[in-house]
Each structure stands twice: as structure tokens, then as C-alpha cells.
């Protein structure tokens, strides 16, 4: 690709970015003009937007877009002069022009054609025909000149829509910076496009920095203990000098005084160093926490980023159905998690279409009912009690309860007697079932019964709820209660085999302590009673691979999870309270970790794994089917045998902690090192039965570490396993040549593969 082609593509990308911004302004302005056609500020904003687009299109060499923008600009100028009025027909035509400008410069769609531009000019000309001009007057001119004549405007500057030569890019490039209408240096709130994966990595690095910042605190506390010990030595020396000074000669007394002065000076130095360390610790922790909070905030976007397209959708649909609707969006600045925001588009589209098609009446019906001819439709977003509330409400006819009851009975979903006794809320729940619709015929807008089903599926996917409110003749309101973010989850923290795990509260039915005497065995499975029904009891240690229960306390701590049809009690070692956790996805290279969905950092920097409750329920069902479900221990623990020790050398915090947890759950004693040099120093100061190391690490890579370990005559027989996420034959050969006993690659790595490899090398954790 030539330099000119690259330069042109860059300019087209800039134009496309500006077109998205300016057409958004135009869409909002045109919809506002429909309610207030003579609003001077809105006309001025629309005229400036089209003027900017015209200039930008000329710079990048898009004559078709120049023609469209010029015609729209002339229309707005004429409206400013009072020569025409922006009515509904003109707005329809101008919205079509916005569609053309949005497509211009987009490499993913076909370029604008002459026919498309002439068709737009014809639509705008026909919609703009004033009463004093007869149709005969519009037949002579052609193209843009005809458009100007029909609008009774001065002759526009000549614009050719034939392919034209583009000015040299050396001259165009300085003007490219003017494509964005807002000055960048003064706009601190401007939006930047950054890949989602970049934000996720940023959040991960911020979490690691938060953990690392807390490593300074133990060092400072150790320095404080040293200072206190030194102070005790100084006090003891002072007591010795007071008691025995008269027995010492002058030289001894002078030496003793010199020692004491040195200790006093050392005490002052330790005090200063401790103050420095304490200040660095507090400052570093604060900065790391702020970095983490800001990185988390980067996942949030204003609700208006997604909702800005809805006014156009509502207007077009209402006009196609012959209805008049005043649409209002409340809470455009409400911050929403980017993942939830992307998922909201489809369900909100269904709710708005249903409101216009099902709920809102036509103008004549509303007039007979004593209502304003313009219906009100509101989309609202706000935060409430730690939740995100999205509401779609209209002042239409409401839900016909009699028709709803008849439809429920006709479909065989419930008996007539039961339906008659149901509350309104219970009846509304039927509307959310798949395929359920109150409409007998299918149209292009609704009638298939998939809209509200899609809303229900979305709400379940993000662990939210949906509520329907309706009053006959007064309207209907759908309220979605959603989590503020998928990046933060309120969780119950529990301890299993000395490790912290988090159960999302959205999936926790109840947490309770049950006396062991209340555990019963039915058909070979342990159960507890909950609300008068038996609930199967399983152990978290079995599900998470943490080994047998070490001791039998008087009570068993149980977390109830699952649905009404499949409720299970998971026995854990200890409850550690509730926490709001920032979710950190596991490294994609690890694949799916059984019964675990993600990780999070606790307040003390400890890593907690977030339990995948749906996976847990599936695991329990599988264990029950296979007859392998273990019960909660009733007796005392058996004698604990010495565990085998494993050294994990890995510079990635996520991978390091995951490997440690997997091995410790299997019963191994694990020590971790953050790089090759740290691993070598740790290796020399303790005995290990196995070393697991990465290849690419700072200071000393894994190949060097293996070479040094195998060069140690005393411990060269200790097996070494390399875990590398690079399927590189050269690395494999280098590792095995250096003496590695096992090489595990990315393609074969998952939790069971790692544990099986460890078992092959050193056997069970004890024995």
C-alpha cells in the first residue's frame, strides 16, 4: 500500500469518527426541532454540524458527502432565515441524509453513489416544496440546483458529485486536525477509544500493584521490632553503667560511654528509617488503591452512550404505526458497567417496541379516552440502593388482565381456578415466558412472544430481576433491577482448607450453622432440614479438591445454593463475612478452572477464588449420579502425615496463585517465588520435593534456574517441571537439555494436567 493510500485511509478514519459525532448531534437536534421547529439554538447547532461535515468531506475527497451535507446546510440556513419551516416531512428527509453521512467514509459499507445522492435530493425537494411553488416549477432544474430552487434559496456554490481529483495530501494533512470540532486541549471530558482487553489488563496490573504495595508493611513492622529490641539493649546498657560504673576504671567507663553514644545514634537512625518506611508504605498503598479504583472506574460508561440512538428508533416506529409519542430519556449520565451497557441494547429495544406497539394507543383512541394525543414514553436509568434501575414506562392502555388470564388458561399454563386466585404480579410473570404473547397475529414489530423472553434471559444472565407494573388505562412500567457492574460482586467469603473462597450473594440462598446431630442420612446421602424440606449436604473440600475434613466441630457451616428444584447445602470450614469484591478474570491461557469463575483481592491482599455456583451445582449432580458424594465427617481427625513440599517459581501473580491453590488443595505444601533469582535463593535455604518453574522471567529465566539446580550435587535428583505457555520447540529442547524432568505446554495445560504431572513425578501429597 502506498503512502498516499495510507494517508487517505487515515483521513477517512478521521472523517468517519467526526461523522459519528456530528450525526449524533444532528439526530438529537432534528428530534428536538419536531417539538420546537423555530428554536434558534437548535437550528444553529444543526447548521454548524452540517457545515463541519461539508468541510471535512471536501478535505478527504468525498464529493457525494459534500453534496448531501451542503443540501442539508442550505435547508437549515433557510429555516434560520424564516424561508421555510422544519416540519415532520422535512425531518424524515433530513434523517435520511444523516444515514447517508453516517455511511460515508465507512470502509465496511459501499461508498455513496450518485443515485443515492440524487434520491436524497429528490426526497428533500419534495418535502421542502413551499405552498407558493407549483410542481411545474420543480421539473426544470436538476440535482443540487433544483433543490436550491425548490427551497427558494440563493444559488449554492457549485458542487460536482462526479469523481473528482483530491487535493495533494501534503496540503490536506495540516487541515485534518480540524476535522474534530471540539478543541482537544481544552476538553478534559473527551472520550478515547481503548480496547476492552487493555482495560482488563490494566485492572489486573492495578490489582497486582495493590498486593505488592502491601509488602512494605511487614518490612516496616520488622524495622519497628528491631528498633524496640535495640532500645531494650540501650536500656540494659544504661542500667549496667549505673550499677557498675564505680567498679570500672576510666578507660572502661569511656569505652562504655562511647558504646552507649553509638547505640543512641543508631536508635535515632532506626527511628528515621522507620518513619521513612512508614511514610513510603502509606503513600504507596494509597496510590496503589487509587490506581485500582480508577482502573475499575474505567469500565464504567454513561448510559447515554448507548441510549442516544433510541429517540430516532422511537420516532420512526411511532410514525410507521401512525402514533404520536413524546419520548424522554432520564439519567443519561448514569454510570453503567460497559459489559452491561452492551448487553442492554437488545432488551431495551424490545421493551420500547412493545410499549409503542402494544401499550400506546393511536391519537383518536387517546382523544376519546380523554388523554393527550401525544403519548408519553420514558426511559430512565438511575442508581438506587446499590443497584442499577432501568425503567421503561408509558401512559398507554395498560395490560388487559382479563385477556391475560384467558391466554394463560388457553395455553394450558395453569388451571382457571388457580389463575383467578393469582395476584397481578403473578400474572405478569407469564408475560416473560418464552413464546408468550397477547397478540393473535404476528407483525413486523411484535407478536412472536420473543421480546420479553429476551428481557428475562438478559436479566438472569447478569443476576438481576425484572418487575412489571401496570394499571388499566393508565400505562405500563417495566423495571429492571441490575447490578451496578459485573466487575464488582457482593460475596460471602468462606474459608476452606485455609484458603479464602467467595460465593456471589446473588446465588446464595442462605448461610447457616447446623449441629452435626441434625445431619441425617437418606438413601446413602447426607441431608439437613431447611424450611421443612430435606436438602442434600456436600462438602466444599470435596468439590474444590481440598482433601478430607481435618476435624469435626460441633456445628457445620453451610452455604445453601441452587434453585428451588435443585437446592444444595455446601459445608465450609468457616464464614469470614461479606465483602464487595472487584472481579479479576483468570488468565485465558489457564482455560476453564473447575468450579471457579474468577478471582479477587481481599482487603489484606490475599487472593480469593470466586466460586462458579452453576458449576458447583453441576458437579454435585455428577457426583450424586456416580455415587461418589462424600459426607461430612462426624468423628475427630486422623493423624496428619508430613506433606511433600513444592517450590513454584512464576513471575505472574495470577498463574502463581492459581498453581499454589491447586497444589495446596491436593494436599501439597507450597512455597512460591516471584522470579528465577528469588527461586534460587529460596531453593538454597530449604528442602523441596519438586520445583515448578516458568521459562520467561526477570533476573534469571527458568532454563538458567534448572541448570543451576541440576548442577547442585546434593539435590540434583529433585525433579523439576517447566510450565511454559509458549509452544516453542526450542524452549522445550533447551529445558529438557538443561535437565528438566517434565515440560508442560500451553496446549495441554489445565488444572488436572498439572496435578497429574505432579503426581507422576512425586506421588501423593503425603506418604
Quick check: 208 pLDDT over 80?
no
DSSP 166: P
Q: Tell me the CATH number of domain 302-483, given options 3.20.20.70, 3.20.20.300, 1.10.260.40, 3.30.565.10.
A: 3.30.565.10
Listed range (200-204, 404-408, 754-758) with the worst mean pLDDT: 200-204
- What grid cell was written down for 47? 447548521
Please state at what angle helix 250-297 crosses helix 196-213, rounded to 10 degrees. 160
Q: Is 585 helix (H, G, I), strand (E, B) or coil?
A: coil
Sole residue written with cell 512494605: 216
- What angle (nearest 5°) sits at the alpha carbon of residue 599, between those of residues 583 and 643? 165
Distances, alpha carbon 425 to alpha carbons 399, 432, 464, 586, 587, in Å = 12, 12, 17, 40, 43
Task: Express each pLDDT in 22-69 by its tens digit.
Answer: 878 888 888 888 778 888 888 888 888 888 788 777 767 788 888 888
How would you classify the pairing of strands 499-504 and 335-337?
Answer: unpaired
Q: What is the pLDDT of residue 181?
A: 40
| Stretch 388-409: mean pLDDT | 90
What is the dotted CATH code of the domain comprising 488-626? 2.40.50.180
Quick check: 174 pLDDT over 50?
no
User: How many whole angstroms separate alpha carbon 160 and alpha carbon 659?
Assistant: 67
Q: Give the start-to-end residue ranges of the domains of the chain.
A: 3-179, 200-297, 302-483, 488-626, 645-762
Task: Express each pLDDT in 71-94 by its tens digit.
Answer: 888 888 888 888 888 888 888 888
Task: Band the pLDDT of 188: cuts 50, 70, 90.
Answer: low
- What grid cell was written down for 584? 479479576
| Stretch 508-520: mean pLDDT | 86
Candidate ranges 153-162, 184-193, 232-241; pick with highest mean pLDDT: 232-241
- What angle (nearest 5°) sits at the alpha carbon of residue 356, between those of residues 355 and 359? 55
Quick check: 571 pLDDT over 60?
yes
Percent of the chain scoring above 70 in pLDDT:
81
> Are 149 and 75 a contacting pair, CB within 8 Å?
no
Task: Band the pLDDT of 394: cuts 50, 70, 90.
Answer: very high
User: How many whole angstroms separate alpha carbon 237 and alpha carbon 218?
Assistant: 29
Task: Express each pLDDT in 246-262 by its tens digit.
Answer: 788 888 888 888 888 88
Q: What is the pLDDT of residue 234?
A: 81
Closest CA to 485 of 466, 512, 513, 504: 504
Partners of 521 in the β-ladder: 526
Listed range (181-195, 247-261, 322-336, 392-406) with the worst mean pLDDT: 181-195
Q: What mean pLDDT value characterizes the chain?
A: 77
| Stretch 274-293: mean pLDDT | 84
Q: What is the pLDDT of residue 328?
A: 92
| Stretch 273-280: mean pLDDT | 84
Task: Band the pLDDT of 109: cuts 50, 70, 90.
Answer: low
Report which of residues 19 and 400 the model is more confident about. Answer: 400
Closest CA to 376 of 89, 35, 87, 94: 35
Distances, alpha carbon 66 to alpha carbons 53, 121, 434, in Å = 8, 12, 48
Partners of 598 in the β-ladder: 610
Quick check: 519 pLDDT over 60?
yes
| Stretch 361-390: mean pLDDT | 89
| Stretch 745-754: mean pLDDT | 65
User: How many whole angstroms separate alpha carbon 601 and alpha carbon 203?
Assistant: 12
Percent of the chain scoring above 90 in pLDDT:
6
| Stretch 277-293: mean pLDDT | 84
We find that the CATH architecture of domain 3-179 is Up-down Bundle (1.20)
Task: Express each pLDDT in 606-630 by its tens digit.
Answer: 788 998 887 888 788 777 665 666 6
Superfamily classification of domain 645-762: Response regulator (3.40.50.2300)
| Stretch 256-277: mean pLDDT | 84
Quick check: 264 pLDDT over 70?
yes
- What grid cell was written down for 111? 461508498
**677 CB-near residues (< 8 Å, 6+ apart):** 699, 700
**446-465: buried (b, 16+ CB within 10 Å) or exposed (e) per residue?**
bbebebbbbbbebbeebebe
Q: What is the pLDDT of residue 329?
A: 92
User: How many whole angstroms separate alpha carbon 303 and alpha carbon 344?
Assistant: 10
Q: What is the pLDDT of residue 118?
A: 78
Task: Band the pLDDT of 241: cuts 50, 70, 90.
Answer: confident
Quick check: 494 pLDDT over 50?
yes
Amino acid at each position: 500500500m502506498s503512502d498516499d493510500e495510507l494517508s487517505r485511509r487515515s483521513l477517512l478514519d478521521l472523517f468517519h469518527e467526526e461523522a459519528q459525532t456530528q450525526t449524533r448531534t444532528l439526530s438529537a437536534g432534528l428530534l428536538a426541532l419536531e417539538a420546537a421547529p423555530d428554536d434558534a439554538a437548535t437550528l444553529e447547532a444543526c447548521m454548524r454540524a452540517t457545515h463541519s461535515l461539508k468541510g471535512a468531506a471536501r478535505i478527504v475527497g468525498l464529493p457525494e458527502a459534500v453534496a448531501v451535507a451542503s443540501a442539508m446546510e442550505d435547508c437549515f440556513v433557510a429555516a434560520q432565515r424564516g424561508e421555510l419551516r422544519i416540519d415532520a416531512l422535512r425531518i424524515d428527509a433530513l434523517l435520511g441524509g444523516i444515514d447517508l453521512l453516517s455511511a460515508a467514509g465507512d470502509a465496511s459499507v459501499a461508498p455513496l453513489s450518485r443515485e443515492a445522492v440524487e434520491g436524497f435530493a429528490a426526497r428533500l425537494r419534495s418535502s421542502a416544496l413551499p405552498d407558493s411553488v407549483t410542481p411545474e416549477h420543480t421539473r426544470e432544474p436538476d440535482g443540487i440546483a433544483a433543490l436550491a430552487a425548490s427551497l427558494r434559496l440563493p444559488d449554492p456554490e457549485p458542487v460536482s458529485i462526479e469523481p473528482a481529483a483530491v487535493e495533494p495530501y501534503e496540503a490536506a494533512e495540516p487541515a485534518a486536525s480540524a476535522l474534530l470540532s471540539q478543541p482537544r486541549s481544552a476538553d478534559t471530558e473527551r472520550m478515547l477509544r481503548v480496547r476492552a482487553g487493555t482495560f482488563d489488563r490494566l485492572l489486573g496490573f492495578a490489582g497486582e500493584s495493590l498486593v505488592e504495595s502491601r509488602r512494605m508493611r511487614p518490612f516496616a513492622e520488622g524495622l519497628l521490632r528491631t528498633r524496640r529490641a535495640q532500645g531494650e539493649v540501650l536500656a540494659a546498657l544504661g542500667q549496667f553503667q549505673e550499677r557498675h560504673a564505680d567498679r570500672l576504671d576510666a578507660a572502661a567507663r569511656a569505652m562504655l560511654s562511647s558504646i552507649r553514644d553509638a547505640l543512641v545514634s543508631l536508635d535515632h537512625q532506626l527511628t528515621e528509617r522507620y518513619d521513612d518506611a512508614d511514610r513510603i508504605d502509606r503513600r504507596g498503598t494509597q496510590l496503589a488503591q487509587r490506581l485500582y479504583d480508577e482502573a475499575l472506574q474505567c469500565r464504567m460508561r454513561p448510559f447515554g452512550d448507548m441510549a442516544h440512538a433510541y429517540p430516532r428508533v422511537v420516532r420512526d416506529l411511532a410514525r410507521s404505526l401512525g402514533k404520536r409519542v413524546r419520548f424522554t430519556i432520564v439519567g443519561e449520565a448514569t454510570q453503567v458497567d460497559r459489559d452491561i451497557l452492551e448487553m442492554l441494547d437488545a432488551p431495551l429495544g424490545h421493551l420500547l417496541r412493545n410499549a409503542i406497539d402494544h401499550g400506546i394507543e393511536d391519537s383518536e383512541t387517546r382523544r376519546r379516552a380523554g388523554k393527550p394525543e401525544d403519548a408519553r414514553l420514558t426511559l430512565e436509568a438511575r442508581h438506587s440502593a446499590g443497584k442499577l434501575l432501568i425503567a421503561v414506562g408509558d401512559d398507554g392502555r395498560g395490560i388487559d388482565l382479563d385477556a391475560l388470564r384467558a391466554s394463560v388458561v388457553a395455553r394450558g399454563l395453569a388451571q382457571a381456578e388457580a389463575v383467578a386466585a393469582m395476584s397481578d404480579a403473578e400474572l405478569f410473570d407469564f408475560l416473560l415466558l418464552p413464546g408468550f404473547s397477547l397478540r393473535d397475529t404476528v407483525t413486523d414489530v411484535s407478536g412472536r412472544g420473543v421480546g420479553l423472553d429476551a428481557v428475562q434471559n438478559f436479566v438472569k444472565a447478569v443476576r438481576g430481576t425484572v418487575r412489571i407494573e401496570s394499571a388499566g388505562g393508565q400505562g405500563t412500567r417495566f423495571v429492571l433491577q441490575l447490578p451496578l457492574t459485573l466487575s464488582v460482586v457482593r460475596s460471602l467469603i468462606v474459608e476452606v482448607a485455609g484458603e479464602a473462597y467467595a460465593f456471589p450473594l446473588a446465588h446464595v440462598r442462605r448461610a447457616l450453622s447446623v449441629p452435626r446431630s441434625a445431619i441425617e442420612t437418606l438413601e446413602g446421602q447426607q441431608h439437613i432440614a431447611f424450611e421443612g424440606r430435606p436438602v442434600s449436604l456436600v462438602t466444599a473440600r470435596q468439590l474444590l479438591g481440598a482433601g478430607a475434613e481435618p476435624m469435626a466441630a460441633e456445628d457445620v457451616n453451610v452455604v445453601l445454593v441452587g434453585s428451588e428444584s435443585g437446592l444444595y447445602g455446601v459445608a465450609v470450614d468457616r464464614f469470614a463475612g461479606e465483602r464487595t469484591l472487584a472481579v479479576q478474570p483468570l488468565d485465558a491461557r489457564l482455560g476453564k478452572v473447575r468450579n471457579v469463575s474468577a478471582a479477587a483481592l481481599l482487603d489484606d491482599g490475599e487472593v480469593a477464588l470466586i466460586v462458579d455456583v452453576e458449576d458447583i451445582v453441576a458437579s454435585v449432580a455428577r457426583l450424586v449420579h456416580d455415587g461418589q458424594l462424600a459426607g461430612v465427617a462426624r468423628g475427630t481427625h486422623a493423624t496428619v502425615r508430613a506433606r511433600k513440599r513444592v517450590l513454584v517459581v512464576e513471575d505472574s501473580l495470577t498463574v502463581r496463585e492459581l498453581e499454589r491453590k491447586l497444589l495446596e488443595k491436593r494436599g501439597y505444601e507450597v512455597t512460591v517465588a516471584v522470579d528465577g533469582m528469588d527461586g534460587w535463593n529460596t531453593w538454597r535455604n530449604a528442602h523441596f520435593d519438586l520445583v515448578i518453574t516458568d521459562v520467561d522471567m526477570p533476573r534469571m529465566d527458568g532454563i538458567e534456574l534448572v541448570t543451576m539446580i541440576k548442577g547442585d550435587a546434593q539435590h540434583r535428583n529433585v525433579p523439576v517441571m517447566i510450565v511454559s505457555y509458549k509452544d516453542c520447540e526450542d524452549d522445550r529442547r533447551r529445558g529438557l537439555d538443561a535437565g528438566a524432568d517434565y515440560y508442560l505446554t500451553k496446549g495441554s495445560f489445565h488444572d488436572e494436567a498439572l496435578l497429574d504431572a505432579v503426581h507422576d513425578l512425586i506421588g501423593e501429597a503425603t506418604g
